[in-house]
Amino acid sequence: MSLEVIDRHSEALFEFLWCPVCGHEVFSHIPFEGVFCKNCNTQVELQESRETRGYEEAVLACFDTNSTWNLHVDEKLRRDLPDGSARVKILGAPGAYKVDWWSPAPGDDWQPVKRGQFSDVDEPADISHLA
Ligand SMILES: [Zn+2]
């Protein structure tokens, strides 16, 4: 992952993203190491997708639980990813992103944790574009 990619996909993208392991939405950028969920330390890498389908931006966010803290200690608050990783494709433009797909596809075996699913705070209004 290059710093260029992070800079280009400014804060707007990180405001849209949330962590599919714990549902929190704050990420920390650690220079030369990467970007991690501030709550559970799951790593996320951004890659530009060549397949934009006409959208201004098309980004793959790849989550990896190798670095996740206390994954199995806090089972009620964290959900491991299938084989430790999952990707989500995001299309759109700042302020108007949407999820195109998850890989592996959510199903009976696995669902990404929804934004704020495990927190006590009210769900943000933009939860609707997850549907
Ligand atoms: Zn997390």
User: Do residues 58 and 89 touch, judged by C-beta distance below 8 A?
Assistant: yes
The yes-or-no verdict on residue 128 having pLDDT over 50 is: no
Q: How far is the CA of 79 from the centre of ligand 1 (A)?
A: 9
The alpha carbon of 50 and the centre of ligand 1 are apart by a number of angstroms equal to: 27
Sheet holding 85-92, edge to edge: 27-30, 34-37, 43-48, 57-64, 85-92, 98-103
% pLDDT > 90, the chain: 63
CB 24 within 8 A of CB 45: no
- At residue 123, does pLDDT exceed 60? no
pLDDT higher than threshold 50 for residue 96: yes
Q: Comparing 131 with 11, which gets the higher pLDDT?
A: 11
Q: What is the pLDDT of residue 80?
A: 94
- Confidence band, pLDDT 50/70/90 cuts, at residue 102: very high
Query: How many whole angstroms from 91 Cα to the centroid of ligand 1?
Result: 22
Quick one: which H or E segment has residue 75? none
Distance CA 72, CA 4 (A): 34
What distance in Å separates the CA atoms of residue 56 and residue 49, rounded to the nearest whole number? 11
Instruction: Give the position of tokens 């966010």.
Output: 61
Summary mean pLDDT of the chain: 85
Mean pLDDT of the 82-100 span: 95
Distance 33 CA to ligand 1 centre (A): 17
Q: How far is the CA of 39 from the centre of ligand 1 (A)?
A: 5
Q: What is the pLDDT of residue 70?
A: 87
Print the SS3 string covering 10-30.
CHHHHHHCCCCCCCCCCEEEE
Spatial separation of the C-alpha atoms in residues 5 and 76, rounded to whole Å: 33
Tally of domains in the chain: 1
- pLDDT for 40-88, tens place per residue? 999 999 998 989 999 999 999 999 999 999 887 766 789 999 999 999 9
Question: Which tens digit of pLDDT belongs to each residue from 15-39?
Answer: 999 999 999 999 998 888 999 999 9
Q: Which domain holds residue 54?
A: 3-130
Residue 118 has pLDDT above 50, yes or no: yes
Whole-number Å distance, alpha carbon 21 to ligand 1 midpoint, is 5
- Residue 85 Cα, ligand 1 centroid: separation in angstroms? 13
